[in-house]
């Protein structure tokens, strides 16, 4: 069985690491992006040479450089672009070698605009790297049996190597039954209980890791940020992000604490962390007073807040107060442009891994 720890093109060990980009204090205000359907580019440009060096220094970048006045920006958009380029090259080699093209099937139920947007973005991402995409769009009143029938068909289709059921599902459907129906060999979302169970056990390797938490760890790897021996706090305990993120950090030999809605003194606990991963969906909940100087922050939250100055009437912020974090942390992901682009990149990576595994290709 293939090793879980990033043996595919998302592996940090197989590529050069990315440099940090730093925003000075007077540029922090420019991080107020607008709109949920796209990510506006930051005002900086990332150097094309991918090495672990600061744009303003010849010294290697590390989390210990926390004494500088502003945090380094962990650019998820740049990392995701690099990973897509690596995947595209692998897909081309696979096609040339054995005539096989990876295939990803997505099942969408209902007419939620956000879900439709996510599916459309996944389709575009597949096309950009040469992966075939198969889409099923069912009405909101479709039966659970209809969904299960399509899953069964995709399970048996050799041209499909990954199956994704877009969540949330309509309330009349049993989400657990539907997700469990996806064969574990094509569970590129990593939500099958056998994959999660293997992730939780020492000496066992899941076939797939959930995409968002996998992307969080990949960002740490790509920027050369140490995890082993560090104190990590995961804020949130969802099955999709919080719980698997904690399991991944534990596999990386971090000492992990999970903060949730029933935790007493969450600020005090979080302030002890060298690494913070926040995924609770509460805008600006983590303030500067929660952050240990020099900590590394991965902000998974994407929250709309009212902003009369924005053409859309709102802007997007994370769970972490970005402006305050930039003054205290050593490195931080922006919102948007941090974890978000990594989720789809990891989905593509999982689909490629599934294809290679199906044909016993290392």
CB 9 within 8 A of CB 362: no
| Dist. CA 188–CA 126, nearest whole Å | 14
Torsion of CA 142, 144, 146, 147, to 10 degrees: 100
Of 112, 173, 122, 183, nearest to 146 by C-alpha is 173
Dihedral angle sign, alpha carbons of residues 256, 19, 343, 153: negative
Q: What is the DSSP string of 70-100?
A: SPEE--HHHHHHHHHHHHHHHHHHHHHHHS-
Instruction: State the DSSP string of 315-331.
Output: EEE-SB-HHHHHHH-SE
**Catalytic one of 72, 166, 187, 299:** 166
Q: DSSP character for 30?
A: G
Q: Which of 72, 77, 122, 186 is catalytic?
A: 122
Cα torsion angle, 145, 151, 154, 155, sign:
negative
Q: Is the Cβ–Cβ distance between 146 and 117 less than 8 Å?
A: no
104, 131 in Cβ contact below 8 A?
yes
Question: Is 122 a residue of the active site?
Answer: yes
Strand order across the 255-259 sheet:
21-22, 72-73, 331-332, 296-299, 275-278, 231-235, 255-259
Q: Check: CB of residue 161 under 8 Å from CB of residue 131.
A: no
Of 189, 274, 299, 319, catalytic: 189
Active site residue 77: no
Rounded to whole angstroms, how far apart are CA atoms 299 and 118?
19
Ranges of H-type helices in the chain: 76-98, 113-129, 144-155, 175-181, 193-200, 211-222, 242-251, 266-270, 322-328, 340-358
274 is annotated as an active-site residue:
no
What is the DSSP-derived secondary structure letter of residue 45?
-
User: Which residues are identified as catalytic?
Assistant: 122, 166, 189
């Amino acid at each position: 069985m293939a090793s879980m720890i990033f043996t595919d093109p998302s592996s940090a060990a197989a590529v050069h690491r990315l440099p940090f980009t730093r925003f000075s204090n007077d540029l922090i205000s420019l991080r107020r992006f607008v709109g949920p359907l796209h990510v506006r580019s930051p005002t900086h440009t990332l150097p094309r040479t991918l090495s672990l060096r600061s744009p303003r220094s010849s010294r290697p970048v590390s989390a210990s450089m926390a004494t500088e006045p502003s945090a380094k920006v962990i650019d998820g958009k740049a990392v995701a672009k690099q990973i897509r380029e690596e995947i595209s090259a692998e897909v081309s080699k696979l096609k040339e070698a054995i005539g096989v093209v990876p295939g990803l099937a997505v099942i969408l139920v209902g007419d939620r605009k956000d879900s439709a947007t996510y599916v459309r973005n996944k389709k575009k991402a597949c096309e950009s790297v040469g992966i075939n995409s198969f889409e099923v769009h069912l009405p909101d009143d479709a039966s659970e049996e209809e969904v299960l029938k399509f899953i069964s068909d995709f399970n048996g289709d050799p041209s499909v190597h990954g199956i994704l059921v877009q969540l949330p599902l309509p309330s009349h459907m049993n989400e657990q039954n539907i997700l469990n129906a996806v064969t574990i060999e094509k569970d590129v979302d990593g939500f099958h209980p056998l994959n999660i169970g293997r992730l939780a056990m020492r000496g066992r390797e899941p076939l797939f890791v959930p995409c968002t938490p996998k992307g969080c760890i990949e960002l740490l790897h790509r920027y050369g940020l140490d995890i082993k021996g560090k104190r990590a706090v995961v804020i949130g305990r969802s099955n999709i992000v919080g719980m698997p993120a904690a399991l991944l950090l534990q596999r990386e030999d971090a000492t992990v604490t999970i903060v949730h809605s029933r935790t007493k003194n969450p600020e005090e606990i979080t302030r002890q962390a060298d690494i913070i991963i926040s995924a609770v969906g509460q805008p600006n909940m983590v303030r500067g007073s929660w952050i240990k100087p020099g900590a590394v922050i991965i902000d998974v939250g994407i929250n709309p807040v009212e902003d009369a100055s924005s053409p859309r009437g709102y802007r997007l912020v994370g769970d972490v107060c970005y402006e305050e974090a930039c003054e205290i942390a050593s490195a931080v992901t922006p919102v948007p442009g941090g974890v978000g682009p990594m989720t789809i990149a990891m989905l593509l990576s999982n689909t490629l891994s599934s294809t290679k595994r199906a044909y016993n290709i290392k």
